[in-house]
Structure 1
Amino acid sequence: MSDRLQALSDAGVSIWLDDLSRERIETGNLTDLVKDRSVVGVTTNPAIFASALAEGERYAEQVARLAADGADVDRAVFELTTTDVRDACDLLADVAARTDASDGKVSIEVSPEMAHDSDATIAEAQLLWDTVDRHNVMIKIPATEGGIPAITEVLGRGISVNVTLIFGLDRYRQVMDAYLAGMEKAKDAGHDLAQIHSVASFFVSRVDSEIDKRLDEIGGDATGLKGKAAVANARLAYQAYEEVFGGDRFAALAAAGARPQRPLWASTGVKNPDYPDTLYVSDLVVEGTVNTMPEKTLEAFADHGEVTGDAVRPHYDDAQRTMDALRDAGVDYDDVIAVLEEEGVQKFVDSWKELQATVRDQLDKAAQR
């Protein structure tokens, strides 16, 4: 057991692995990470599945069955990915039981090609929920304009949701409002609110990547602000979280059994090698959050990460000063967020197409055998 990761967990941060493959499940790797690395959840996305399918040989048997059955690419992708997620849910069932279902979660995303289509997102979220058929699965829905109403509707049906691709504070407030509206709808429908779970995946490193690029273009003293925006932005998101979930509207839901929608720090692998490789973990330690990490970041923190208490709430004023300084330097925050959201959806679409191409190739080869 890593003492550093245990300290992170003891500080109130749930450690989730941002990766999944059949290799991890069948070799016992994921089990070992739960036992030795304090991992209590898993997130996936199209890029993760594309990599797993391209590199793993453990899918061959299922691909062969699907090919023999005449499955098309979309059906094959659906069945391959939901199988992995179902198996991971089973593997993490004990964690879910031990944590009163707060953790032990495995997330699977609706097709990113539906990111701007509310009705299609709702339909696929329901299908994924029914197909995986595990209490500890979470359906990932992007926080696009089309995704916001879908979040409310899906939660209202009693389905647990991981809201993904959140970059900006205004959108985050819309996400929290969608959560509250969804839980109110679920209450009216007679669902047990205690059984509905949600996290809001607030992306971190990409904010620095985009803003640092703009600061380099501005030049001069502005470059002294590089590497500060992402953490400041996330800290202000937690401030907004405390405001919303400390308010009367949520209090009424909590009285009926509802749980808060926890902030989840996503995109926490450091992209700039000049920055500490544990930056987006150590500087965002605060109770009641999730940090989903690629294994490289997980191992880095296990080796040399530091937990020095609450790294978020004492720094609200500093975070606001950083964002004000960025504005004064000429960084257009709203434009940054719009660019990141558009790029985020497109990256997932590209990965989805890569996943489809990989599966298509494997189906073709299986059919020729």
Structure 2
Amino acid sequence: MTENNDRLAALSAAGVAVWLDDLSRDRINTGNLDGMRRQQSVVGVTTNPSIFANALAKGEAYAGQLADLATRKVTVDEAARSLTTFDVRAACDVLRPAFDASNGVDGRVSIEVDPRLAFDTAATVAEAKALWWAVDRENLFIKIPATVEGLPAISAVLAEGISVNVTLIFGLDRYKDVMDAFFTGLEAAKANGHDLSKIESVASFFVSRVDTEIDKRLDKLGSPEALALRGKAGVANARLAYQAYEEAFGTPRWQALADAGARPQRPLWASTGVKNPDYSDVLYVEELVAPGIVNTMPEATMRAFEDHGETRGDTITANYAESREVLDALAAIGVEYDDVIAVLEREGVEKFEVSWNELLATITSEMDKVG
């Protein structure tokens, strides 16, 4: 193992599960993903519509399957499901050793429900069940966005014994709602006779997008007080999310589920690629280390941490008061937290819808060439 790989191993030893926020058929076919599992401490993969749209737009790895789909004259929606579930199923198989080694905690691959369904509870549940059936791997996660309509869908899907990655969480109140939905889902799963120890969940709390939106507002204010707060909100918000996690999973309600075999819904730091070049490119890794979390990284962020990242132990739990002070300071100068969160959730769903439509357009175009 090289010195660079030692950096990721140290991060893992501190309690952070290292996941890759990317997937393509080339990664699977070339052995790249398996190499990252074996050599770089990667124990999970997350996908989203943007990742699939990008993968399909590059290379020839999908040409054969696209030709077959065109010959069969399937709909574009069916083609999208076939293409994406194929990749995710194969990635689940690549990561199966990590799944076995962690007793089912890691080795997980996430696939997202069609983002156009984000505000339709019943359709989200139906699509989640269809994806779970189509991929047919126990180390799968179904990604469901944490919209108001997504919350009951999360509970309903967990109640079926299906493991869930809750995505697009930006705000602390919504995160608390997500944990409540997790508890509700597990309670129903128990009542339905499911083995709770087989149901896993993560809650994907987005980080860098919070700084991007708040920094934009701070730049507009332009005062010294405002500019001094740039780049601080994302980390502070995530640290307070971990505080909420510790509180929720220290309750009698959780203890009753744990006694029945349930495992906690881990916080997952998403959107950890640093978007502002003025900030450290490993900011959202180094400053968000604590036991029992996941950090899903774009490859560039992972490579940066391999090169110069430092693991300094727990960088979260001693900083709750300081983090609260950051949010209080933002409120004092007129940055409205609730409005920021509402904008980010709306834009998050919209961006995934745009990417999904781009994916469908690319599939249509490629199938037309054959047909």
Q: Matches of 2:208 and 2:303 in 1, distance apart?
A: 18
Q: Is residue 202–residue 264 contact of structure 1 (8 Å, CA) maintained in 2?
A: yes
Aligned match of 1:5? 8
Q: Does 1:365 align with 2:369?
A: yes
The residue type paired with residue 59 of structure 2 is G
Pairwise CA distance, 1:143:
0.2
Aligned match of 1:327? 331
For 1:219-234, what aligned pairs fall within 5 Å after superposition? 219-220=222-223, 221-234=225-238
SS at match of 1:225: coil
List 4+ stretches of structure 1 deviating above 6 A.
Answer: none
Q: Matches of 1:131 and 1:292 in 2, distance apart?
A: 24
SS at match of 1:264: strand
Q: Does 1:21 align with 2:21?
A: no
Pairwise CA distance, 1:164:
0.1
Aligned match of 2:63? 60
- For residues 300-321 of structure 1, the C-alpha deviation after alignment (integer angstroms, 9 at most, x for no partner) is 0000000011000010010011
Q: Matches of 1:297 and 1:35 in 2, distance apart?
A: 18
Aligned match of 1:270? 274
- For residues 274-312 of structure 1, the C-alpha deviation after alignment (integer angstroms, 9 at most, x for no partner) is 000000000001110000000000000000000011000
Q: Matches of 1:95 and 1:4 in 2, distance apart?
A: 19
Aligned match of 2:139? 136
Aligned match of 1:165? 168
For 1:180-191, what aligned pairs fall within 5 Å after superposition? 180-191=183-194
Aligned match of 2:87? 84
- For residues 105-154 of structure 1, the C-alpha deviation after alignment (integer angstroms, 9 at most, x for no partner) is 00000000000000000000000000100000000000001100100000
Q: Matches of 1:92 and 1:29 in 2, distance apart?
A: 12
Aligned match of 1:300? 304
Pairwise CA distance, 1:192:
0.2
Stretches of structure 1 that go unaligned for 5 or more consecutive residues are: none
Equivalenced residues, count: 367
Q: Matches of 2:304 and 2:333 in 1, distance apart?
A: 33
State the superposition RMSD in angstroms: 0.5
The normalised TM-score by structure 2 is 0.98
- The correspondence for 1:104, drawn from 104, 107, 121, is 107
Q: Does 1:241 align with 2:245?
A: yes
- Aligned-pair identity in percent equals 63
Q: Is residue 206–residue 267 contact of structure 1 (8 Å, CA) maintained in 2?
A: yes
SS at match of 2:228: helix
Pairwise CA distance, 1:342:
0.2
SS at match of 1:116: coil
Q: Does 1:38 align with 2:41?
A: yes
Pairwise CA distance, 1:217:
1.0
Q: Matches of 1:290 and 1:111 in 2, distance apart?
A: 24
Q: Matches of 2:345 and 2:369 in 1, distance apart?
A: 36
Q: Is residue 22–residue 56 contact of structure 1 (8 Å, CA) maintained in 2?
A: no
Deviates more, 1:62-71 or 1:202-211: 62-71
Q: Matches of 2:370 and 2:287 in 1, distance apart?
A: 48
Q: Matches of 1:39 and 1:329 in 2, distance apart?
A: 41
Aligned match of 2:221? 218
Q: Matches of 1:17 and 1:366 in 2, distance apart?
A: 33
Pairwise CA distance, 1:56:
2.6
The normalised TM-score by structure 1 is 0.99
Aligned match of 1:70? 73
Q: Matches of 1:37 and 1:258 in 2, distance apart?
A: 29
Q: Is residue 42–residue 107 contact of structure 1 (8 Å, CA) maintained in 2?
A: yes
Aligned match of 1:342? 346
SS at match of 2:111: strand
- For residues 185-208 of structure 1, the C-alpha deviation after alignment (integer angstroms, 9 at most, x for no partner) is 000000000000000000000000
